[in-house]
Structure 1
Amino acid sequence: MTTANADKQVPVTGEWRDRKRYLWLFGLVAPTAVFTATVGVWLFGRLEWNAVAPLWWWIGPILVYVLLPILDRFFGPDGQNPPDEVMEQLENDKYYRYCTYAYIPFQFASLVFACYLWSAENLSWLGVDGGLGPTSKIGLAITVGVMGGIGINTAHELGHKKDSLERWLSKVTLAQTFYGHFYIEHNRGHHVRVATPEDPASSKFGETFWAFLPRSVWGSLTSSWTLEKARLDRASKRTWTIHNDVLNAWLMSVVLFGVLIALFGPVVIPFLVIQAVYGFSLLETVNYLEHYGLLRQRTPRGRYERAAPEHSWNSDHIVTNIFLYHLQRHSDHHANPTRRYQILRSMDGAPNLPSGYASMISLAYFPPLWRRVMDHRVLDHYDGDITRVNIAPRKRDRVLAQYGAT
């Protein structure tokens, strides 16, 4: 027998096994990157390769912008979907959730260690004369930001679950990037309004990433506050209370940053800010590419049609799939938000990106290249009908004229 997605699925014969089962442990590469960089600097110092040793502090962006795209190209698409008969077994296998839980202690250990490295004046044990130089500190901050950005994806996986522990761990994981409101906005905002003009996290045709970034950041923040205030109003509770999930999530960040500043001094403040901003910007880059130009149509009653596989850009490249817990199987995630990552499937009818998310992140930074690669794919997805596309309002007239529509 074969599974439903025959064009992407390998045959299932005998007992099905998840060939990625132990590969999910590679998801811990990001939260341990600071320690890997430290070992690399120490080792290169012993080998007297002092000129290149500081490059190790930039291991985070090197991983995201260089290694993952190369590995995606080399290993290609995944090609394996779990068949129906193993879904329940996979869902209940606690090994998979432990893989996500393990991210969190490594994340915070790395953050604390990075604060030590930013503040230390004597790193002779590392072979560094005095403390780290400015370039190395910034590289380390970006690497910690990569960890925080991928940590938001880990929080995304946990925050969708019904288990109260996992929901709590989701907010804890978001504390590093001061993005705790994502817990509210993503679950109760984005999943309701996805691929509509009203959704701040759905990018529009013709909208550059640099225009999308502030719109999504501010829109998600204000939306989360509105949603949580409405929930508390329905429960006849005050807005300014510890029971406000936006406030208690932000409070976790305040406590975390306050403790780190108290322990290591004000010198760590600029680097904490850099890593937080870079971390949530990395998340927003992924948001940008997940629904670019896609639009749910109105029904005769004036409501939006239900979200379907056709409303999310997907990719099944195996390496980024492993690092992002199948986030690239985004259509299945929107169809089944509580479904655990190990049983998400590639779905027929979903539009596919030309490469993995890691490759597309770099492309998003360069609007002319992005539009050259993606705009015709959006049009092809809608059979050339530009009126069915989610167009940036400021560019609507120009875009319609360009494609011969009114």
Structure 2
Amino acid sequence: MKPLKKFGFLWSYSLLAVIVGSYYLGGPAWTFAGCVYTYGVLPLLDAAFGKDRANVAREDYERVVEDCYFDVLVYSFVYLQYGLLVWGCWMLVFDPMTLKQQVGLMFSIGIFSGTIINIAHELGHRSSRIAQVHAKLALLSVSYMHFLIEHNRGHHVHVATPLDTATARKNQSLYAFWWQTLIGGYCSAWRIEKGLLKKAGHQVWSRQNEMLWFVILPVLLCVVFTTGFSLAAGYIVWIVTVFFVAQCLIGILLLESVNYIEHYGIIRREIAPGKYERVNPLHSWNASQYISNLVLFQLQRHSDHHAYAARPDQVLRHFDESPQLPFGYPLMILMAMLPPLWFRLMNPRLAAWKAKAYSSEEIFKTLRQFA
């Protein structure tokens, strides 16, 4: 990996810098800066810098994977997330703001909370105990801890099939998809956890059931924030409770919006009743816009991630053969919020993907280069 790209991953801190820096430089009037930066500035930077189709060379793979620089970046975000939540609470309680300014701060921090789920996503695919603990801490901050169960054992197993609640169907709007994935994903996590408990010989209603803890712990965290700042202020500060819930909701909906654009309409071929072809890099939408990939730790190279889930983010690859999104995630999310525009943009691309016929020999040749 070239040094320019390696240190370019420091751009992942840019949203945090914009949220906090703009507040101190411009005051409460700049609380919407995080929103403007994410959905206004980043798409412009993507257009200016173009796409990054370069992949880490095979001979450099182990060196890049073992470089602790990337671990420091990823793990630091978990602590920065909690620091930002405390800072946000402090500003809302002790710094005079209008209602509009309060809403702006909640939305900006909520967007950052959406990116912390991406960090949890990366850490949740690692097997080490320290990575798993940090993934749970990250998800605790946004009250979405069941994601760890459903994503790894549900979504990655059933992706691009009718069984996956995180795969959007053709002509399904983003708003209909939210209901599908929020309810379906939670129910799926419960089914998976019940199966694991039964296999281990534990009762569903026991302390071994992680789904129970995934409800209790976020509530306790909200109570701790509200109680702590209420004691500091000398009165009950309900704004802290509202802020905690709001940033959770915004972060969760942002994450599920990403799921929507990553898998819209793509279904694997059914090779036998209820059995689908193996997941490969042709089964997820891919985007290699340079700047937004740096900000999102290459999450947009999603095709490679689903084919090889254990591959760390810094070595995820771009493949021209994967179905390509026309823009990076920030702009695609805005377009998804306007269903007629989204369908007009994506349905022809989806039809082109479906029409692309591969013989078994061509598939073999294609997948062999992905290995």
TM value normalised by structure 1: 0.83
Alignment partner, residue 362 of structure 2: none
Tell which deviates more after alignment, 239-248 or 200-209.
239-248
Counterpart of 2:242, as a letter, is: P
Q: Which is bigger in relative contact order (C-alpha 8 A, separation at least 6)?
A: 2
Alignment partner, residue 361 of structure 1: 333
Alignment partner, residue 244 of structure 2: 272
Q: Is there any run of 5+ residues in structure 1 with no aligned partner, and where?
A: 1-15, 43-52, 124-130, 386-406
**8 Å contact 2:174–2:260 — kept in the other structure?**
yes
**8 Å contact 1:291–1:313 — kept in the other structure?**
yes
**8 Å contact 1:82–1:343 — kept in the other structure?**
yes
Spell out, residue by residue over 1:100-131, the C-alpha distance to the aligned partner (whole angstroms, 9 max, x if none).
111122111110111111122xx3xxxxxxx1
- Equivalent-residue separation in structure 2 for 1:29 and 1:257 (angstroms): 27
Spell out, residue by residue over 1:326-354, the C-alpha distance to the aligned partner (whole angstroms, 9 max, x if none).
11111110111111111110124210001
Counterpart of 1:134, as a letter, is: L
Deviation (angstroms), 1:317: 0.4
**8 Å contact 1:171–1:249 — kept in the other structure?**
no
Kindly report which structure 2 residues correspond to 1:246-325, keeping only aligned pairs within 5 A, or say none: 246-264=211-229, 265-300=237-272, 302-325=274-297
Kindly report which structure 2 residues correspond to 1:39-118, keeping only aligned pairs within 5 A, or say none: 39-42=24-27, 54=29, 56-118=30-92
* Partner SS state of residue 185, structure 2: helix
Deviation (angstroms), 1:93: 1.0
Tell which deviates more after alignment, 320-329 or 259-268.
259-268
Whichever of the two has the greater Rg, that structure is: 1
- Equivalent-residue separation in structure 2 for 1:252 and 1:168 (angstroms): 14
Structure with higher helix content:
2
- Equivalent-residue separation in structure 2 for 1:173 and 1:33 (angstroms): 21
Alignment partner, residue 395 of structure 1: none
Tell which deviates more after alignment, 291-300 or 373-382.
291-300
- Equivalent-residue separation in structure 2 for 1:179 and 1:249 (angstroms): 8
- Equivalent-residue separation in structure 1 for 2:37 and 2:140 (angstroms): 23
- Equivalent-residue separation in structure 1 for 2:333 and 2:272 (angstroms): 37
**8 Å contact 1:65–1:362 — kept in the other structure?**
yes
Kindly report which structure 2 residues correspond to 1:103-142, keeping only aligned pairs within 5 A, or say none: 103-120=77-94, 123=95, 131-142=96-107
Deviation (angstroms), 1:172: 0.5
Change (3 A) 1:147 1:187: same
Q: Is there any run of 5+ residues in structure 2 with no aligned partner, and where?
A: 230-236, 358-371
- Equivalent-residue separation in structure 2 for 1:69 and 1:252 (angstroms): 36
2:133 aligned with 1:168, yes or no?
Answer: yes
Alignment partner, residue 327 of structure 1: 299
- Equivalent-residue separation in structure 1 for 2:148 and 2:69 (angstroms): 24
* Partner SS state of residue 355, structure 2: coil
Deviation (angstroms), 1:97: 1.1
* Partner SS state of residue 326, structure 1: coil
- Equivalent-residue separation in structure 1 for 2:285 and 2:164 (angstroms): 16
Spell out, residue by residue over 1:248-296, the C-alpha distance to the aligned partner (whole angstroms, 9 max, x if none).
3333322221111101232322222221111100001100000111010
Q: How many equivalent pairs are there?
A: 350
Change (3 A) 1:261 1:23: same
Counterpart of 1:30, as a letter, is: L
2:343 aligned with 1:371, yes or no?
Answer: yes
Deviation (angstroms), 1:133: 0.7
What percentage of residue pairs aligned between the two structures are identical?
A: 36
Kindly report which structure 2 residues correspond to 1:134-283, keeping only aligned pairs within 5 A, or say none: 134-264=99-229, 265-283=237-255
Spell out, residue by residue over 1:293-321, the C-alpha distance to the aligned partner (whole angstroms, 9 max, x if none).
10101114651111111110000001110
* Partner SS state of residue 282, structure 2: helix
Deviation (angstroms), 1:89: 1.1
Tell which deviates more after alignment, 29-38 or 230-239.
29-38
Counterpart of 1:207, as a letter, is: Q
Alignment partner, residue 309 of structure 2: 337
Counterpart of 1:70, as a letter, is: L
* Partner SS state of residue 272, structure 1: helix
Change (3 A) 1:31 1:170: farther
- Equivalent-residue separation in structure 2 for 1:223 and 1:31 (angstroms): 33
Counterpart of 2:162, as a letter, is: P
Change (3 A) 1:253 1:33: farther
- Equivalent-residue separation in structure 2 for 1:177 and 1:201 (angstroms): 18
Deviation (angstroms), 1:40: 2.3
CA RMSD of aligned residues (A): 1.6
**8 Å contact 2:18–2:37 — kept in the other structure?**
no
Change (3 A) 1:117 1:295: same
Deviation (angstroms), 1:238: 2.0
Counterpart of 1:36, as a letter, is: G
Deviation (angstroms), 1:35: 1.9
Deviation (angstroms), 1:180: 0.7
* Equivalent residue in structure 2 for 1:351, among 299, 323, 326: 323
- Equivalent-residue separation in structure 1 for 2:347 and 2:273 (angstroms): 30
**8 Å contact 2:173–2:339 — kept in the other structure?**
yes
Runs of 4+ in 1 over 6 A off after TM superposition: none
Spell out, residue by residue over 1:22-44, the C-alpha distance to the aligned partner (whole angstroms, 9 max, x if none).
111121223444422321224xx
Counterpart of 1:58, as a letter, is: F
